[in-house]
Chains A and B, each alone.
Chain A
């Protein structure tokens, strides 16, 4: 699976949009981009995933560049409860594939 690069930490004011970048320059054509987050002392929570097109759900939006070498997770109106470590993971399709976690981005949402 392709490696990803994320900033170690970011701050965001409550109510503002949080934009979390991820670089995956070695991604291949059949690899998805997945985002998970882990709130302190809990299991990771699935947020969103995509292949080529931008995706949106009730939690976030995922913007993938046209060359697929980077993506941005957008939390449109961050709240204090969004404080967590956010993991960007590139993963092959198929039942045999697995998620490999990097160090992620620690997002701190402040008042």
Chain B
């Protein structure tokens, strides 16, 4: 099956700093990538959708200036949490959807756990 990776898997940062999370599709070209957030004991919440070369579309209530998304190539998307605060601590998960046989199915990365102190 299609493989999506994320880096880093764990990150701890101080309040006020920015953190960048990478999401890569390893064996297919991802025309669309999605970013989700999951708080403890809750389900995944979609944050934004990005298409390669276009600006991301954010879900209602998600601050686009705080969560910067770049999808510059067909295999890489990044999420930058700017000026992170403790309430941003969460499990961030990306997923990717491609073309051809992978067009309709979203494949998920392993997630990045962010802890803001």
Q: CB within 8 Å of B: which residues of A?
A: 32, 34, 36, 38, 41-46, 49, 87, 93, 95, 98-104
Contacts and interface: CB of A to CB of B under 8 A. Distances in A.
28 contacts: A34-B105, A36-B108, A38-B44, A42-B110, A43-B6, A43-B108, A43-B109, A43-B110, A46-B1, A46-B105, A46-B106, A46-B107, A46-B108, A49-B105, A87-B43, A95-B32, A95-B51, A95-B97, A98-B34, A98-B46, A99-B46, A99-B95, A100-B46, A101-B43, A101-B44, A101-B45, A103-B43, A104-B43
B80 to A, nearest CB: 19
B31 A95 contact: yes
B32 A41 contact: no
Is the contact region of chain A dominated by helix, strand, or loop, or is it mixed?
Answer: loop
Is the contact region of chain B dominated by helix, strand, or loop, or is it mixed?
Answer: strand
B10 to A, nearest CB: 11
Contact of A43 (B31, B103, B111): B111
Nearest to B112: A43
B27 interface: no
The 9 closest A-B pairs by CB, nearest first: A43-B108, A101-B44, A44-B108, A101-B43, A43-B111, A43-B93, A43-B110, A43-B109, A103-B43
Contacts of B1: 46
B49 interface: yes
